[in-house]
Amino acid sequence: MIALWDALYLLFFTMCGALVVLSVSSFGWRRLVTWGRPIVLAAVVAGIAGLAARSFTSGHLPIFGTFENAWTCAVSILVFCAVAPRLLGGAAEMWRWMSPWALAVMIYGSFFRREPVALTISEQSIFVDLHVVFAWAAFAALLCAATMSLLLIMGGRPAGDAEESQRIHDRLVLGGYVAFTAMLATGAFYLWILFATPWKWEIVGASSLLVWLGYGILIHGRLFYRWHGKGYHAGVLAVLPVLLLAFWVWSLYPGTYHFFDIPLVRPY
């Protein structure tokens, strides 16, 4: 018999796929767009319910291992799509270009161990929970900005006219940067608690620093020199691979203390 969390996981997965199909289909049949927001909201409910059921089974928040983190990330992306348009004052159809990311992350996570296991002691802290909240908020905002940049380079209108799209893009980059800074700060503080040092030179931290500096350059350019157009958006896209590296390298590379797909070694 399938567990409740597993059933909700599959439901959420299916809804991510439905959103992608809807997004693609709406290019030919515009009326389908009106179905998007209700399905996003339903997917968010299913996703959060599934994560809650998973947490009940495993005994901890869903932050341990690539499977859980991928699921949490995908839910975070759709929560962002549900909430951000109101905060930004635009981009109501954000789900159309963000749902493929949610689906891609779910597909990626499905290749990893899904068995619920106990949370390792080094993750049992409120500071880790805060760090994760800021991390996924930053990831969703910056990923959205990068995707908008791609669409703008391709001549699209992701959020209305050019000026409105640029304004929303600016808010995404700036807001994502604040969340990213908060993620680094909480991470540094917790690292001191664990290892009596605020910084370790390992690949997740170093690539995160590179992301932070990269967006710093872009924000300076935008504020001081009003960088805009295809050149600016190409710069935003250039940081995207490093952003993906910083957030996901730990799922494949064990040489980092962010690695959490710990082999379940048995004594014999």
Residues that bind another protein (CB under 8 A): 89, 117-125, 128, 167, 170-171, 174-175, 177-178, 181-182, 184-186, 188-189, 192-194, 196-203, 206-207, 209-210, 213-214, 216-217, 220-226, 253, 255, 262, 264-268
- Encoded tokens for 100: 């493929």
Query: How far, CA to CA in Å, does 112 sit from each of 69, 116, 130, 244, 262?
Result: 11, 12, 24, 18, 11
CA distance 54 to 75: 13
Least separation in angstroms between CB 83 and another protein: 15
CA distance 25 to 257: 43
Least separation in angstroms between CB 238 and another protein: 10
Least separation in angstroms between CB 192 and another protein: 6
Query: How far, CA to CA in Å, does 184 sit from each of 5, 24, 190, 208, 261?
Result: 31, 36, 10, 8, 22
CA distance 179 to 131: 10
DSSP states of 7-33 as a string?
HHHHHHHHHHHHHHHHHHHTTT-GGGG
Residue holding tokens 């494949």?
A: 252
Least separation in angstroms between CB 203 and another protein: 4
Strands (E), the chain: none
Least separation in angstroms between CB 80 and another protein: 17
Give the residue with the Cβ less far from another protein, 14 or 124. 124
